[in-house]
Structure 1
Amino acid sequence: MEALIAKFIEWIKESEHIVFFGGAGVSTESGIPDFRSKDGLYNQHDVQFDKYQPEYLLSHTCLMREPEVFFEFYRQKMDSRGFEPNVTHRVLAKLEEIGKLDAIVTQNIDGLHQLAGSKCVYEIHGTTHKNYCASCGERVGENYIFETTGIPRCPKCGGMIRPQVTLYEEGLPEDAVRGAVDAIRKADTLIVAGTSLNVYPAASYVYEFRGNHLIVLNKEPLHVQLNQEKDLFIEAAMGQVFVALEDALF
């Protein structure tokens, strides 16, 4: 493991255009559960929601057909307020600050990268920190949904307020996707971390990478073709790897 982390640090030092592609595993060390692990959100049993498929509860269909159910689940399970960035978030912000990291592409909706200080973040699944009226487009504060009950209503027109989160059955935000793919294509090193790469189309963006080194950090192997000479897979806790990187660079 030490040899793998040493190689990781060496490649980061050599790189000038790094892109980080992260999933739910990036935020688990901050205390936010992922979705599909044995302790993840989709495997938590709750009598109130057990009769529903987890994907349905975060779907456009649920929002439209059963908004009371959608918002109850959303308020209970998707509130990331009060959580703090971990070492991975903080080190990525430092890498951007010194000009090594060009962009973060995240599947997470918790906003912790920005809270850590990162500027160029492509949130391809949206964010819980922005809300808008589905009828008139009026923007409301980031706490609006969490601090109301029932179906949140627009103070301007009375329409339904919804989170700026990409739900199942919805298309990804075009601007974020365009920026993410462009950044990945221009990267000399791509770090893929904390994601199973099972959610499409986001997972397919990894295959746009044509740079020098693909580095995968995950607790279990991914179905990604790696070149033994120029790619790297590290099966370890992300915090362990980024603490070592922080010690070496900062």
Structure 2
Amino acid sequence: MEDLIKKFSEYIEESHNIVFFGGAGVSTESGIPDFRSKDGLYNQKDIKFDKYPPEYLLSHTCLVKEPKVFFEFYRQKMDARNIQPNAAHFALAELEKLGKLKSIITQNIDGLHQKAGSNIVYEIHGTTKENYCDKCNKKYPSDYIFDSKESIPQCECGGIVRPKVTLYEEGLPEDAVSNAISAIRKADMLIVAGTSLQVYPAASYVHNFTGKHLVVINKEPINVKLDNKKDIFIQGSVGEILRNII
């Protein structure tokens, strides 16, 4: 492990355009459950929602056909307003201040990277921090859905106020995806952390990397091709490893 950490530090020293690609494992250390692990959101028993397939509750179909169910689940499970960034988020913000890290690409929707101080964050699955009307596109404050007394939050035009989160059956935000792919292509070092790279199409974006060093950090081994001469895999806590590096 020490040798890997040392090599990781050397890679950062010699790199000038680092991009970070992160998944749910970055936020679990703040207490936000992932989706599919044994302790994940989809395995949490709740009698109110047990009759529904997990993916359905965060789908476009559920929002349209059963909005009361959608918003009840969303309010209970997606509210990260009182969650604080962890060591990984703060380390990445510091790496940005040092001029090394140029952008963060995240599959998470909790806004913790920005809360920790990072400025260039591409949220390829959207964010719970923004809401808008599905009819007139009027924007609403980040607290609007969570604080609304209505079971289905309504816009003054009569439309439904929904979160700016990419639901199942919806396409990813084009601007964020375009910026993410462009950043990866320009990077001389790519750090992939806290993700199994099993969620597509987001996982496919790492294949656009042609830079010098690829570093993978995860608690479990993942299926990604590494070049032993220039790439490394570090198994462990994302926050602990990044904190030691910084």
Q: Same fold (TM over 0.5)?
A: yes
Measured after TM superposition, the shift of residue 242 of structure 1 is 1.4
Measured after TM superposition, the shift of residue 87 of structure 1 is 1.1
Gaps of 5+ in 2: none
CA distances 1:65-103 after superposition (whole Å, capped 9, x unpaired): 111110000000000001111111111111111210111
Counterpart for residue 52 of structure 1: 52
CA distance in 1, matches of 2:222, 2:104: 20
Measured after TM superposition, the shift of residue 59 of structure 1 is 0.5
1:196 aligns with 2:220: no
1:20 aligns with 2:20: yes
CA distance in 1, matches of 2:76, 2:199: 23
CA distances 1:82-131 after superposition (whole Å, capped 9, x unpaired): 11111111111111112101110000000000111111100000000000
- 1:138 is aligned with what amino acid? K
Counterpart for residue 145 of structure 2: 145
Measured after TM superposition, the shift of residue 158 of structure 1 is 2.1
User: Which secondary structure does the structure 2 equivalent of 1:11 belong to?
Assistant: helix
CA distance in 2, matches of 1:125, 1:204: 14
**Contact 2:89–2:239 (8 Å) recurs in 1:** no
CA distances 1:202-238 after superposition (whole Å, capped 9, x unpaired): 0000000000111100011111111111111011111
**Contact 2:87–2:240 (8 Å) recurs in 1:** no
CA distance in 1, matches of 2:122, 2:16: 19
CA distance in 2, matches of 1:71, 1:141: 16
Counterpart for residue 180 of structure 1: 180
Counterpart for residue 211 of structure 1: 211
User: Which secondary structure does the structure 1 equivalent of 2:103 belong to?
Assistant: strand
CA distance in 1, matches of 2:104, 2:207: 16
Measured after TM superposition, the shift of residue 5 of structure 1 is 1.3
Q: Runs of 4 or more off by more than 4 Å in structure 1?
A: none
CA distance in 1, matches of 2:185, 2:157: 43
Counterpart for residue 33 of structure 1: 33
CA distance in 2, matches of 1:240, 1:139: 37
Counterpart for residue 158 of structure 1: 158
1:104 aligns with 2:110: no
TM-score when scaled to structure 2? 0.98
Counting only pairs closer than 5 Å after superposition, residues 53-72 of structure 1 correspond to structure 2 as: 53-72=53-72
CA distances 1:149-206 after superposition (whole Å, capped 9, x unpaired): 310001x212100000000110000000000000000000000000111111100000
- 2:151 is aligned with what amino acid? G
User: Which secondary structure does the structure 1 equivalent of 2:147 belong to?
Assistant: coil
Percent identical: 67
Measured after TM superposition, the shift of residue 10 of structure 1 is 1.3
**Contact 2:88–2:240 (8 Å) recurs in 1:** no
- 1:16 is aligned with what amino acid? H
CA distance in 2, matches of 1:241, 1:14: 18
Indicate the RMSD between aligned Cα atoms, in angstroms. Answer: 0.8
Counterpart for residue 231 of structure 2: 231
Gaps of 5+ in 1: none
**Contact 2:111–2:127 (8 Å) recurs in 1:** yes
Measured after TM superposition, the shift of residue 9 of structure 1 is 1.3
The number of aligned residues is: 245
